[in-house]
Amino acid sequence: MIKDLKSLTWNELEQVAAQHSQKPFVVQYLFTFIHQKNVAALEQITPLSKTFRAALTEAGYHISTLKLIETFDDPDGTMKFVFETADGNRLESVRLLDDQRATLCISTQVGCRMGCLFCATGQLGYQRDLTCGEIVDQVYQIQLRTGKAQNIVYMGMGEPLDNYEATMKSVELLNHPEGQNIGIRHITVSTCGLTEGIARLTEEALQPRLAISLHGPDDQTRQSILKISKKVPIRSLMSALRKYQDHTGRRITFEYCMIQNYNDSPQQARQLARLVKPFKCNVNLIEFNAFDGCDFVAASPAGIRQFAAVLEREGIETVIRYKRGRSIRAACGQLGADWLKRTT
Ligand code: SF4
């Protein structure tokens, strides 16, 4: 039984209220004080009776809060936040700013078991899943200090679909009209290709945007970058995405990290175009960000432009994502790089 009230949905809070012989309306107070006003303790929910608050505390209910350990600022406006959980684990989140619109990149696990070779988090290994409360609290803590964010992307530390329940519950909480009310089309869940998770997502009533870490147009290329691709060949991934799009009608974003001499040739661009063309989709080309212990080299800017031009000629909507937050190791694939440096 989850005792962290921040990890409970509206319906689950109703059950807790009923168990304590409370009327359903108390949930309004619990939910808005936790998810909108961001209170850190039950005593702060003053509209609730003292008896009810005491009963909840006695039953072990509490409101978890991440501890902010450190913040880093990049001259390009990117900020990185290092948080600590109650059991002493650390995680990182990033705030990116574009034309005064903030996007928060949040984590779903401490470390990650996917081991993608271009990603520092993957080299750290897996510690544990974050709880739903710990996932949403990254948003609340950052907003408390920097103001309202417009977009949430699940692209921080960890593979979101490897922590499926907590991830989808956190999406529901962030989207809830009595909470942060972040539009579902402003929430993106990213995966390196867990087909089981994609199949589950296909059936969800709530449909966040889906981003796929592809990074290669064929199995051989993907296998040199993503360990998961040994278990999930491209054919299975594309078949899961076909079902997902047929069922949901939602556009898919393909993420493609540009690594010199691995996946950046014009021939691979043509292959990629053929692979994604049957989908309603767009491709994000991401400049590779180096970290200690990784031998990959970023594709040249000219090479990336050439690659993008091939995709665009084939009618694929393509965006080049230039390096952001690199000086503070907040760029794509760099989360956890500071700890990695210390441990190697
Ligand atoms: S890219 Fe994502 S899934 Fe892959 S190792 Fe890094 S955090 Fe995990």
Instruction: List, for the chain, all residue ranges whose pLDDT scores fall below the cut of 50.
Output: 344
State the pLDDT at residue 75: 92
**For residue 41, what is the DSSP state?**
S
Q: Is the CB of 318 under 6 A from ligand 1?
A: no
294 Cβ below 6 A of ligand 1: no
Cβ proximity of 44 and 57 under 8 Å: no
- Structural contact between residues 304 and 287, judged by C-beta atoms closer than 8 angstroms: yes
Give the pLDDT score at 342.
Answer: 59
Question: What confidence score (pLDDT) does residue 241 get?
Answer: 98
Judge contact between 323 and 287, C-beta under 8 A. Answer: yes
The third-level CATH classification (topology) of the domain covering 67-343 is TIM Barrel (3.20.20)
Residue 153 DSSP one-character state: E
Please report, for the chain, the start and end positions of each structural domain, with discontinuous segments joined by +: 5-58, 67-343
Q: Indicate the helix (H) or strand (E) that contains 256.
A: strand 252-258
C-alpha 162 – ligand 1 centre gap (Å):
11
**Residue 229 contacts residue 251 (beta carbons within 8 Å):** no
Q: Which residue type, as a one-letter code, is found at position 25?
A: F
196 CB contacts (<8 Å, ≥6 apart)? 161
At residue 132, the 3 state secondary structure works out as helix
Q: Which of 124, 159, 259, 332 to mutate to test the pocket of ligand 1 (most atoms within 8 A of CB)?
A: 159
Q: Which atom of ligand 1 is found nearest the CA of 122?
A: 5
pLDDT of residue 294: 85
State residue 323's pLDDT score: 73
Sole residue written with tokens 């970058």 = 225
Q: Please give the class, per CATH, of domain 5-58.
A: mainly alpha
Q: What's the confidence (pLDDT) of residue 343?
A: 55
192 lines ligand 1 (CB under 6 A): yes
107 lines ligand 1 (CB under 6 A): no
Res 128: pLDDT: 96
Q: What's the whole-model pTM score?
A: 0.95
Helix (H, G, I), strand (E, B) or coil at 96: strand
Whole-angstrom distance, CA of residue 316 vs CA of residue 319: 10
Distance 114 CA to ligand 1 centre (A): 6
The pLDDT, as a whole number, for residue 290 is 81
| Burial label, 261 (beta-carbon count in 10 A; 0-12, 13-18, 19+) | exposed
Equal fold, 5-58 vs 67-343: no
Please tell me the predicted confidence (pLDDT) of residue 34.
98
- The predicted pLDDT at position 122 comes to 86
262 Cα–ligand 1 center, Å: 18
pLDDT at 289: 85
C-alpha 187, offset from chain centre = 9
Ligand 1 centroid, distance to 93 Cα (angstroms) = 14
What pLDDT, on a 0 to 100 scale, did the predictor assign at position 91?
95
